[in-house]
Structure 1
Amino acid sequence: MTMFAKPVACAAFLIVSGLAPLHAQEVVAPSAVSFTDMGGIETSLTGTPGDVAAGAELMNKGSGNCIACHKVTALSDLPFHGEIGPPLDGVATRWDEAQLRGIVANAKKTFPGTIMPAFYHTGPYVRPGDAFTGDAAKGDVAPLLSAQDVENVVAYLMTLDTYPE
């Protein structure tokens, strides 16, 4: 056997046996996201399951910072829960995974008048009033969250299936 024959034979065995995917799912770019009529995103943006712990971390930090606007009883040890958005307790009983993915990616697809930012969107952005005197960024800008961050937040939100007593 040549030096390439063994790896090729191994890969062929894994594919034929179903132990390896034929191809890995590529990350869906923000501009290529397909929303349902109700604003949901039916398929994963990455093909990789979300990490609940990483999603909980994003709820309080960086570009996620969900608790700045939303109350989450499960995260009551963290300070400064907001009251602008609805509480997220029981959110997994109100929306399914596809709907939550769509809301996190771009809530305006589900709630057109919302002030919640689009976390997986690159533009164009429109300045909402005269108070904004500077020019809006030209072209696309980086999304607030990566595709995997969106999946992680959704995985965490899917654990919020009860209401506090």
Structure 2
Amino acid sequence: MRLTIITAALALSGGLAMANPVAPGDVAFDDYGAIEASLTGQPGNPDNGREIMIARGKGNCLACHEVTALKDAPFHGEVGPMLDGIGANRTEAELRGIVANAKKTFEGTVMPAFYKTSGFVRPGDGYTGKAAKEEDLMPILTAQEIEDVVAFLLTLQDG
């Protein structure tokens, strides 16, 4: 009983952070593609963001971007812009929007939407003739991972 009362008191006082992150379909982009509000209500962890940027199975940012601060990781790409100094040149809201869905800021970009679950063009299977399923996909990154990547990008002040 006591634990229930303490938990309820923390929840009412704001001691428990936003339990449910903003769902990908509910993200509020401004006219320029920025996302003002945190997707989780929690600050991002730049150390986790660094790891996500390097991870080939997650962000894989280095497949397209070069980042001097990540020079210890191999195979930096040249498709996207160098990210040195991005934290000094873009706001947190702009970075959050670009990482979540860069097409909202840069129409026609090849950068994938890391926090999107629907609205994809899916061709059918040419071999079997079966149409692609229309169900939602899982986002590439979670809301907290988006916040973590943004926190890391904000550390990139020199460039």
Aligned to 1:104: 99
Task: Report the CA distance between 1:7 and its aligned residue.
Answer: 6.2
Which amino acid in structure 2 is aligned with residue 91 of structure 1?
A: I
Match of 2:85 among 78, 84, 90: 90
Q: TM-score, normalised by structure 2?
A: 0.86
Cα deviations by residue, 1:62-91 (Å, 9 ceiling, x for unpaired): 220101100000011111000000000000
Amino acid at match of 1:80: F
SS of residue in 1 equivalent to 2:54? coil
Scaled by the length of structure 1, what TM-score is found? 0.83
Percent identical pairs in the alignment equals 54
Q: Residue 158 of structure 1 corresponds to which residue in structure 2?
A: 154
Work out the CA distance in 1 between the residues paired with 2:44 and 2:154: 10
After TM superposition, give the deviation of residue 10 of structure 1 in Å: 9.1
Deviation at 1:8, TM superposition (A): 3.6
**Higher gyration radius (CA):** 1
Give the count of matched residue pairs: 153
> Where has structure 1 moved over 4 Å in runs of 4 or more?
4-7, 9-12, 132-137
Mean Cα displacement is larger for which, 50-59 or 21-30?
Answer: 21-30
Q: Deviations over 1:107-136 (max 9, x none)?
A: 0000011000000000120159xxx94754
CA contact (8 A) 2:17 2:42 kept: no
* Aligned residue among 128, 134, 138 for 1:138: 134
Deviation string 1:26-85 (CA, Å, 9 cap, x unpaired) is 300000000010100001000111111100001110220101100000011111000000
